[in-house]
Structure 1
Amino acid sequence: MNIWGAALTLLVSTYMGEASCPGVAVAITKGDQVIAVQGFGHDSTGAPMTENTKMAIASVSKSFTALAVRQLADAGKIDLDRPVFDSRVTARQLLAHKSGISDRTLPEKSLKQPGSPAEAVERAREALQKAVPDNEFRYTNTNYHLAARLVELASGENFNAYLKKHVFEPLGMRDTVAIDVTPRDLPADYRKGYGYAYGFSIPLTEPDRFVTGSDGVITTAADMAKWLAAQPKLAPQDGMGWEADQQGRLRHNGIWFTSTAGQLLTESGYGIAVMANSGITLGNEGTYGLENGIADVVDGKTPPEPESYRLLIDLVLAALTLLSTALGIRALKRPRRFHKAWQVLRFVPLGVLLALPTLLGLLYGGGRDITFFQLAHYSLPLVVWLGVSSVMNLSVAVARWRR
């Protein structure tokens, strides 16, 4: 039974238009049966998106890592509740993000990137020693870098090779690979994803990052359909590479700076995977809403209209940039005397700019780590506005201090 109809096609097309997303690939299953697999739009070369277009699934990869750990636990090679790496942290706590490690204790994106899971363990050694596991959820890729190393130690195999032999090949996922470092290890036939700024989608190279175990799986919609169809037998669990949403449905989403993805298992037995070749930005947090909309359609419900505010936000930031420039030029041409103490306020934009990675990490990611370079991928208009405002205000402050 092919459930693709006008409602689903309209939903995906509307999402792509609202989110300014050039390409989307979708897989839908019912129980262990593949119902529909389809691509929409185009990749960064202009080629049509198909069910065989290779896409990054970002943190959806964690579900595969968790399965590898569970396989080895079932084989008696990993004790989920035994502390690992000479710490108080257990494998179960790593998978559930309850290890006590966070991006605050180990800023994994800002630090030098490791080249292997073994190097990731060494980088995390101090954080592991200081970690106090508890029941608090602290999301960090480091937990799954460490889980990948556990798989290597327990199996005696390279982590990516283990996934290929024990997960991808048994499921028939022939076009799926796992990589260590972006963009270095991306397959030759992988096409760049897109960034977004000022209303334009721009092909970009994913920033250099270590992704083993956490977000390094490259796959296709056709292969994700096989993965979803296997879930009834694999029996995924909350806290084991999947998360329960407010409705109790198991899901996991993933974000790169040049692509986004998500998977969802509905109460009615449907499996849904969505992959988009446009990265996360202000006003567009990924495929979460589209997954929910597809779930509504296949369950016979009317989905809400897809919404994205990325264009509106960028236009507002562009207007603020122009306003800051105009006010700065006016202040330089027509200087007025102010008490010098008030000039300190002109350093506020610079302070906000310097603190922006930390502020955004706290506001949107519960303390997640991000570098300035990655921040420019996330919202170039925001960085430009604060940068221009800082330069103009500093110029005015210097001019008036000299008077």
Structure 2
Amino acid sequence: MPLVLYLLGLAVFAQATSEFMLSGLGPDIARDLGVSIPAAGWLTSAFAVGMIVGAPAIAVLGARWPRRRTLLVTLTVFLLVHVIGALTTSFTILLLTRVIAALANAGFLALALATATTLVSPDAKGRATSVLLGGTTLACIAGVPAGAVLGQHLGWRSAFWAVAIISVPALIAILRAVPATRITGPATPGLVPLGDPEATNGFGVDRCLVVLLALGALVNGATFCSFTYLTPVVTDVTALGDGWVPVMLALFGLGSFAGVTLAGRYADRRDHRLAFVAGSTLLLGWGVFTLTASIPAATVVLVITQGLLSFAVGSTLISHALYAGSASPVLTGGLATASLNVGAALGPALGGAAIAATDYRAPLWVSTLLVGTALGLTGTLQLWERRWAWRGRFSSGNGGRRAG
């Protein structure tokens, strides 16, 4: 893998750290800027909405520029708004910087995914994707805890400064190593309605892209549903002490990093059967976790296992989507980014509603349901494809007899 990919992954690490670190900085921000803690929570919501809306929109606009310029502009804007956020004493300005940072982050990740696939051989998109998404998993392992430590000892503003500083090496790498040319391909990937049997052959490219993005959103929703509420699961359901919380979060992060790494090795085979087997195992794991969450040993094992399987399946689906949408890599990268963030927003919302209705075991049930829905969708579409393929053969046979 080219060195520039790892430096792009460093930028993704900084951006993912920025996205998730406010969960540990919210009370300090609220106290310093004179707002309530729920109001400080708007900073996280604003970032999530900006990511969902911004990914395809910025990707389409950025596709008209050379990739180097687009990556430089989006990462520079991301860096500068963190500097402004670190300096401001106004909550309104800080909220505005979060929206702008999310738009820049979304555009950067969309273009970075598209660029990564052009810097490697055509059959290595999965490995290139795993390098970038590995930055997200490393943020869970190291970036977010480090941000919390900085916030505790040096104040929340120091975490914003750290994110800005970490972004600088990636800026230099983009300037030196990313080609200045545009990424070729049409402006949009002519998406085909799922109900049109004649549009593609079997799981055709355009139809497959739509399905893969939907599956990616569901699987990522399941992942972040349980990850967001892992602390009360550990303390209230498993009945372990508070000291176990960072250990469990780190174990989940280590599992997720291993999962992304494995996905990079196998996603390039483009074997949908392998992804289906891994997805079925993921569903089984969430079900077992739900039933055994009160057992400490089972929780330790399943936290690692589910972290590994969740990110392996999710990363594989995104890699397959990049293959399916290779005719328009920039917009495909934007849609992939949006689908991941739809899941990241949907999962915790459903998990929170389920907790309010039942108890702290509920997010595990929701994760099971979301992955089960993804597998059910896959099976339904496979049956749909076989039905239309059978009808096509039957019609061809009748036509042949009438012609004779």
- Give the alignment's TM-score, normalised by structure 2: 0.29
- Give the alignment's TM-score, normalised by structure 1: 0.29
Larger radius of gyration: 1
Task: Flag the structure with higher helix content.
Answer: 2
